[in-house]
A and B are shown apart, each in its own frame.
Chain A
Amino acid sequence: MSYREEIDRLVQMPAYGLAHAQKADLYAKMLTAGTQYHREKCPEYGRFLRALGCPAGSFFCKEEISKESVSKKKIPLEEIPFLPVSIFKELDLKSIPDEQVFKVITSSGTSGQKPSRIFLDAETSAVQQKVLARIVSEEIGDRRLPCLMLDTKAVLRDRRHFSARGAGILGFSVFASRICYALDENMDLNLEEIREFIDRHRQKALERGEKPRFLLYGFTFMIWKYFVRALEAAGVMLDLEGSVLIHGGGWKKLQAQAVSPEEFASRIRAVTGIEQVRSYYGMAEQTGSICMECQCGHLHTSTWSDVIVRREKDYTVCDIGEAGVLQVLTPIAMSYPGHSLLTEDRGVLLGEDDCPCGRRGRYFRVLGRLPKAEIRGCSDTFEA
């Protein structure tokens, strides 16, 4: 079976059903194939592997290898080469011919930084969509829901600002039966429209004899600033009990305002009645295979992703509970060499296969970005 056929099969598997032994087996096989595939298709990646001393034909294995049985080509899975995620800001890396580029995803990047550019072919994009659907449907069910996008429609219109926010909205639009944008172009609440939208779909659900249920989606900080705080300021309470709110984009800005995940969730509950508030961890460099938060507040890898936490001082693997820098793995990056990336996010592995929520796989917490160090040197004179 080809690498791409294997991936098609992988997509059909349950989202959180693989326990350690099975997953390690599968990942050793798939990532060996992926590494080999990208080595052949992406010349830059091939050169990187060569410089690392990772020979063609190397394979990863799940078990610990004793020093004696180590050969040049047999590599423990945890030693899999990783690319620094920032490399996609510097180079256009693709494992497909130019004419097969179907879509280019650009990450927002922190202000003043170059954005990442991720090249997708139609197949990779479709697989990412399928995987995202599989993960999200675990939260919202198999049916589409009326969706309140907690953002302004303007983020989609303005091509220049078509960034992670826009991509997130587009990605989650597929789970929506109907969409209502909660904010206008000035980021003010469209309170009339929101109420009318909720009432209409409540009514419809009740007519069908179902419990009304909505999907709310947005970026964490946007939700806090323009939805939660705005509802509080207006003294408005929306009746969205039984609905689900999914948010991404990181805690950084809220941490700066000392808002904890618990407070975030309880304030949302207070203004909407929503109990099911779920964040996720994901990035433009591995679109689709996001890690969703469970009811215990843990981020979960799925069948389509894994994490390894590494020590900052030497990139050796951290113990459970030990903070380090996150490496993310996914077998589904086909059109670009993004199957093994070292992020600049710090995190901690909480456990594997034994989260009280019942999901199999590793679960973890994200602690935020690596703190930027003040760099010395003479190449820049002026701060902007």
Chain B
Amino acid sequence: MKSELIKIAGSGSYFPREVTLLAGTDRPTSDVLEPFSAQALAFLDDFSRALRRDRGARQDAEAMALAFWCRRTHMLALKDRYCAAPGRTGRGKIFHLAPANVPMMFVYTWAIGLLAGNAGIVRISERTLQREAVQNVLRIFRELFLQEENAAIRERTSLISYDRSDAVTEQILADCSGRVLWGGDETILHMQQIPMPENAVELTFPDRVSLAVISEEALEKADRETLRNLVHRFYNDTYVMDQNGCSSPQTVIWLKKTASINMASPPGDSLSDAADEQSETGTIRGKWWRMLAQEAEREYGMDGFRAARKLEKAALSAMQTDKIVSIRRFCGNELFVLRLAGLPEDLAAYKGGFGLFFETEAEDMTQIFPSFSDRIQTVVCIGIDPFEQAAAAAQQKAAGALRFVEAGQALQMDTVWDGIDLINALSR
């Protein structure tokens, strides 16, 4: 799997012997750049183009999303959000730890560190490396770094791997100006125990739970094409990352039409009850779920293992609480919908995966905010305006690291994440 281009860090290297250098330099510089430096923007644009040209990378949706993200116009749009405070620079070397199962995350975190003006040392997990798309991206990095004009970025990039070792991590951190930790709560708590220089900064991005709010009225007004497009975007927000991304919606909250509606029996096939051939296929909720399931049927590649995890999750949820009113399936095992008895105390307690959603309903947004906790992150807004909701949430002091986005944007990386402005936090 690993190419012959991989060098083992040798003498004079910044890294201990256990470290394998995958791309970049084994002697990263602490020399800082200004935020959104010309060198960084130029390299990321080159990188974006190289990705899009690459036969292997082109096959991978996540690599293409990354290429889209890195292109110059998007970088400039991000830059525009920051007023150019003169004299602001990066901090030095930043250590990044990316989650194992979001394959392209190691590039995003490195790129944001670079945009802030820093050199980035990124530990990539063994599991991430097993992905072909990741190998393609690493190969593109190595090819770009062969070019002399990219030397400035090369000496600020160390993409590395090593077997889990706190001693090695500690050595690497010894001359770092900060660390950026993405991942599960346990990993983050563990990594926080490892010492680093006292003035170094630390950004942590622990597990979060996200949701979607859908206006029934807006969906009913939407024409077939608009609806299909929304479903497709929502599919990308959820199934693409096995619905396991922190920003993938887990619960759908239906905003009821102001006129009273009949909520008799929800559509879908009950797991066990063949008698439950639904009459109410005409509702917009049923239509939405059915269309989503059909999209999953075409695109997702459901398998027995994922189906088993969903069944387990459905059973566990129904058994552990008395809040689950019904379990319905759409298109076989493509989609499970678990109906909640009203708005729960904490929406973050409900986590699905692989196309298992919880659903409930509300009259309007203000009813929903009290069910938010600190662990709530992205709110995908469908048929309602995300900016208005963000303002309303702020006004009502809703809990959570909130981020309101339109359908299709849930997984899009931003330089502001979990309420932290990474560009500002990683520069001085």
Contact = CB atoms under 8 A, between A and B. Distances in A.
A84 to B, nearest CB: 4
Interface string A351-384: 0000000000000000000111111111111111
A275 interface: no
Nearest to A343: B308
A375 to B, nearest CB: 5
B94 to A, nearest CB: 16
Interface in A1-51: 44-45, 47-48, 50-51
Nearest to B322: A47
A381 B241 contact: no
Interface string B308-347: 1001101110111110111101011110001000000000
B274 interface: yes
A382 B187 CA distance: 7
A272 interface: no
B164 interface: yes
Contacts of A90: 312, 316
Interface in A38-82: 44-45, 47-48, 50-54, 65, 67, 70-72, 74-76, 79-81
B105 interface: yes
Contacts of B383: none
Given A91-B316, A314-B332, A375-B242, A381 B305 contact: no
A281 to B, nearest CB: 18
Contact of A377 (B244, B315, B334): B244
A312 B307 CA distance: 7
A315 B332 contact: yes
B319 A313 contact: no
A379 B311 CA distance: 20
B189 to A, nearest CB: 11
Given A52-B271, A70-B275, A71-B275, A377 B241 contact: yes
Nearest to B312: A84
Nearest to B324: A51
Most chain B CB neighbours (cut-off 10 Å) among A53, A70, A84, A344: A53
Most chain A CB neighbours (cut-off 10 Å) among B248, B271, B329: B271
Contacts of B282: none
A378 B333 contact: no
Contacts of A83: 315
Contacts of A50: 318
Contacts of B101: 374-380
A79 B270 CA distance: 11
A249 to B, nearest CB: 21
A384 to B, nearest CB: 8
A108 B404 CA distance: 45
Contact of A373 (B105, B303, B322, B331): B303
A381 B97 contact: yes
Nearest to A373: B305
A342 interface: yes
Most chain A CB neighbours (cut-off 10 Å) among B248, B308, B334, B353: B308
A79 B273 contact: yes
A134 interface: no
B246 A378 contact: yes
A371 B182 contact: no
B303 A378 contact: no
B89 interface: no
A344 B321 CA distance: 25
A104 interface: no
B12 interface: no
A382 B277 contact: no
B103 interface: yes
Nearest to A344: B308
Contact of A383 (B125, B332, B333): B125
B97 A342 contact: no
Nearest to A315: B333
Interface in B332-376: 332-334, 338, 353
B326 A47 contact: no
B311 A383 contact: no
A270 interface: no
B127 interface: yes
Given A45-B319, A48-B318, A51-B324, A67 B277 contact: yes
Most chain B CB neighbours (cut-off 10 Å) among A48, A75, A378, A382: A378
Contacts of B308: 84, 86, 325, 342, 344, 370
B194 to A, nearest CB: 13
Interface in B169-201: 181-184, 187-188
A165 interface: no
A87 B312 contact: yes
B100 interface: yes
A278 interface: no
B151 interface: no
A382 B307 contact: no
A315 B241 CA distance: 24
Contacts of B277: 67
A312 B304 contact: yes
Contact of A70 (B130, B274, B312): B274
A81 B244 contact: no
Contacts of B98: 381
B271 A81 contact: yes
Given A51-B318, A344-B308, A382 B273 contact: no
B99 A380 contact: yes
B327 A51 contact: yes
A71 B305 CA distance: 32
A298 interface: no
B241 to A, nearest CB: 5
Contact of A378 (B130, B245, B273): B245
A314 B99 contact: no
A381 B183 contact: yes
A53 B332 contact: no
Interface string B365-397: 000000000000000000000000000000000
Contact of B305 (A45, A72, A87, A370): A370
Interface string B261-274: 00000000011111
A287 B405 CA distance: 51
Contacts of A372: 305
B152 to A, nearest CB: 29
Nearest to A42: B319
Contacts of B353: 377
A65 B277 CA distance: 14
B333 A377 contact: no
A379 B306 CA distance: 17
B126 interface: yes
A346 interface: yes
Contacts of B332: 311, 313-316
Contacts of A382: 100, 125, 164, 183, 187
11 contacts: A47-B321, A75-B275, A87-B315, A91-B316, A91-B320, A374-B130, A377-B101, A380-B99, A380-B183, A382-B187, A383-B100
Cβ-closest 5 pairs across A and B: A377-B244, A314-B332, A381-B183, A312-B304, A44-B319
Given A86-B308, A377-B102, A382-B125, 12 more contacts: A48-B319, A51-B324, A52-B270, A72-B276, A79-B272, A87-B319, A311-B332, A344-B304, A344-B305, A370-B304, A375-B242, A381-B125
Interface of B: 97-103, 105, 125-127, 130, 164, 181-184, 187-188, 207, 241-246, 248, 270-277, 302-308, 311-312, 314-316, 318-322, 324-327, 329, 331-334, 338, 353
